[in-house]
Chains A and B, each alone.
Chain A
Amino acid sequence: MVLRSSLKNYLQLSCILRTPKAGLRSTTSGGLIIQSISNDVYQNLAVEDWIHDHMNLENQQVLFLWRNSPAVVIGRHQNPWQECNLRLLRQKNIKLARRRSGGGTVYHDLGNINLTFFTTRKKYERMENLKLVVKALKALRPQLDVHVTDRYDILLDRQYKISGTAAKLGRATAYHHCTLLCNADKFVLSSVLKSPYKGLKSNATPSVPASVKNLFEDDPGLTCEMLLGAIAEEYAMHHQIDHRITLINPADEAVLPGINDKTKELQTWEWVYGKTPKFSVSTCFNMVYKGSVLDVKVDMDVKHGRIETCNIDLPEQWLPPVLCSELVKSLTGSKLCPNETTALATTLLRLCPQDDELHSRWNLLCENVKMLM
């Protein structure tokens, strides 16, 4: 998304962002404001990683501006099954990403802007950054009632959350990023951030739900572009640097060597789901079959996103015990993933006696087990 504004000039980044010792040769020393031209959440998260790993921030600070097409982003140590409605995400083709910073789960779409403040570890200071954002908002619209809480949230009208914060600290560098709701789809937000999965027991970081509101609702004249512009201005003033925003292409290997590998890693199942801390599922559900209701109890231990142990309790003889144990054995070690389960369940069906009744029972059980994933 290219911002059009007569007040700003955009520099095309060529070889400026470079390797470890080189640091950044920006147009002015002291700081840099960059904006991603991509709306892909994985690419943008990869840019954060890249800057964190490769840029020398000794003498400068960086502000990174980005927006994503619909995506749910969970914190580093969170459990996606606990945090969001994965079934709905798949249905609506909403991406799921795990970021490297801590904190809770958020929903991104083009009506939400993301700000990342990069500094050295010593200069890491979240409150200062958020106060800067509030100052920018007030400069843009003085009547807005926005303030920062001690939980590092920004509230609108004293009650609605419009921004959440998270941070990542490394050896020498750190970043603090936050969201800002301008005009996001609140309906989709609330429906995807509600988990339907029952019986989960986990030590993963839980999210703290909050009522949200879009800035747009208080002032329909506000757009994301305006907010980005105001925050960039304020940042530039505060750090006494050039206010021009440099556009950056997260797919450009020449400018960001190694970025595509980072993007790929963020998309792997092993990162998104496999990094979930160990958890257990203990639940029961009803199946309706030919007029009778059956109680099924399922217990699973999940580690690295894979089913470590599995137990399915069915009414006796509803399915031949041999088949049931085959299912359990195949599920053990398998990913907690409905597609994987479909593939293995349908393959195992080839070995079952060719009995329509048996097949429909098997399919019913498998469909229900998949609902837990």
Chain B
Amino acid sequence: VCIHRVRSCSSIRFIKSKYVCVFDKSALKFSHQQRLFRTSAVSRGQIVQFKLSDIGEGITEVTVKEWYIKEGDSVSQFDSICEVQSDKASVTITSRYDGIIRKLHYNLDEIAYVGKPLVDIEIDASKGVAPEEDVVETPPMSHEEHTHQEIKGHKTLATPAVRRLAMENNIKLSEVVGTGKDNRILKEDILNYLAKQTGAILPPSPKAEIIPPLPKSETVPAAPKDKAREVPVPVSRPIVFSGKDKTEPVTGFQKAMVKTMSAALKIPHFGYCDEIDLTQLVQLREELKPLAQIRGVKLSFMPFFIKAASLGLLQYPILNASLDESCQHVTYKASHNIGVAMDTEQGLIVPNVKNVQVCSVFEIASELNRLQSLGSAGQLGTNDLTGGTFTLSNIGTIGGTYTKPVILPPEVAIGALGKIQVLPRFNGKGEVFKAQIMNVSWSADHRIIDGATMARFSNLWKSYLENPASMLLDLK
């Protein structure tokens, strides 16, 4: 229809009356195109019907499987337009023109015909541009780099004239901040970019592989000669940052975590922290590690922490309890199913070791190995992830000292372990010695747990770990 309009307007005799006439009609019918169709552009933009080119092997029909662009998008020559399929061959159709997509002739899964129009593209009349005098010493870019630029999925919008200007000056479009509509790069933006580059010497790219020139000032080795005389005056430059905000929906597992954590915050938390001297435990573990290795199990510190916690829970069972929704009843859980926080691809997952109260340290270690390998593969099962009664989080493997852990409902307590540091401490004789110190941060539900209980539990747990031999007395 656009073509018809152009044709009728090119007839000189009727230009004035018919032009006005046609335009009025168009204002009513094609209002959505009005926004993009400027009055002065009637003679400038030409709609070209881009036909589906020959696929080969005598194929006449293909099925449109995926569109890479939509109506209104700006495309450059060689940009991918769509993916079509014919008889086991998948074909990427690329644009022959620079311009704006005005119409898609097919929907997904429709049959498209070779030789028939695929899309309508409005071609911009491109004008020649005189090359700039200040040529920046950057490595030459391939043609492809200029014609289809994508910054992490965002297409760089720029007219062909602007693209040519950039190409002639060896500028990568992704380095330029666009100030036009939708971050479109305008000629002014290229000129501004060039102005900033004047006087700077950019390092050459080390390999044939395209690496963008570093824009940071510390890599600029020399200043031009005329500046040597003057005291350099700091020029306030606007901070150029061409990143874009990215919004994603919160889905799946993340959504569930949002709900859980919101519920967790309704629990009145109190914290209790302490430091544990693990010097003896470190030594003990060194002795036991090879023994466990022989049996095929990797022994970390966690099995000791977990077993000691269970021994403590035997004395202070309220920490292994659950408060019902109405806060009317407390259920003391018989099993110590101690959860271990794990950082996986999906996020924070907390599988638990079941019935720690009847497990040996070795059995706990073995079970942890199993859970860790399943966790890193993202394949933990329902049984491993449910039924936890108490949780330990060894955030210290990543770092940190004291933290404020959040209780995982329906539990009432959680402990977070910081990293083990070598620190100077005083022994009984008043001498300074090298101690292996770890910090623990407990959080508990203040509705049913009081500070004294938490402190006593922590002291007991601490005593087991500071003097591992004492665990022998209470092991069942």
Contact = CB atoms under 8 A, between A and B. Distances in A.
A348 B257 CA distance: 8
Contact of A152 (B88, B92, B378): B88
6 contacts: A102-B86, A102-B89, A168-B91, A257-B207, A348-B256, A351-B259
B224 interface: no
Interface residues of A, number: 61
Interface of B: 55-57, 65-66, 78, 83, 85-92, 94, 108-109, 142, 144, 207-209, 249-253, 255-257, 259-260, 263, 322, 324-325, 331, 346-347, 349, 378-382, 385-386, 408-410
Nearest to B377: A339
Given A90-B379, A104-B88, A350-B409, 16 more contacts: A76-B83, A102-B88, A152-B87, A166-B89, A168-B90, A168-B92, A170-B92, A171-B78, A334-B255, A335-B252, A343-B256, A346-B385, A348-B256, A348-B260, A350-B410, A366-B382
A333 interface: yes
A346 B382 contact: yes
Nearest to B329: A354
Given A169-B92, A351-B260, A19 B386 contact: no
Which one of B85, B250, B252 has the highest number of Cβ atoms from chain A below 10 Å of its Cβ? B252
B260 A342 contact: no
B72 to A, nearest CB: 22
A339 B346 contact: yes
A344 B92 CA distance: 38
A101 B83 CA distance: 10
Nearest to A333: B251
A359 interface: yes
Which one of B85, B144, B249, B409 has the highest number of Cβ atoms from chain A below 10 Å of its Cβ? B85
Interface string A213-238: 00000000000000000000000000
A333 B259 contact: no
B57 A124 contact: yes
A277 interface: yes
Given A125-B57, A340-B253, A348-B259, A203 B85 contact: no
Contact of A100 (B56, B90, B325): B90
Interface in A92-146: 100-104, 121-122, 124-127
Interface string A69-91: 00000011100000000000010
B143 to A, nearest CB: 8
B208 A18 contact: yes
**Those 10 A-B pairs whose CB atoms lie nearest each other, nearest first:** A334-B252, A333-B251, A103-B88, A102-B90, A346-B385, A167-B89, A347-B256, A344-B256, A169-B91, A343-B253
A108 B83 CA distance: 25
Given A124-B57, A333-B249, A343 B349 contact: yes
Which one of B142, B253, B263, B346 has the highest number of Cβ atoms from chain A below 10 Å of its Cβ? B253
Contact of B56 (A121, A152, A344, A363): A121
A340 B324 contact: no
Which one of A167, A326, A346, A348 has the highest number of Cβ atoms from chain B below 10 Å of its Cβ? A346
Given A203-B109, A333-B249, A342-B380, A76 B386 contact: no
Nearest to B257: A347
A165 interface: yes
A102 B66 CA distance: 12
A22 B260 contact: no
A258 interface: yes
A315 interface: no
Nearest to A166: B88
A333 B249 CA distance: 8
A349 B260 CA distance: 9
Contacts of B409: 350-351
Contacts of B55: 169
A283 B257 CA distance: 29
A347 to B, nearest CB: 4
Nearest to A122: B56
A122 B260 CA distance: 59
A67 interface: no
Contacts of A350: 260, 263, 408-410
Interface in A13-35: 18-22
A330 B208 CA distance: 48
Contacts of B66: 77
Contacts of B94: 170-171
A347 B209 contact: no
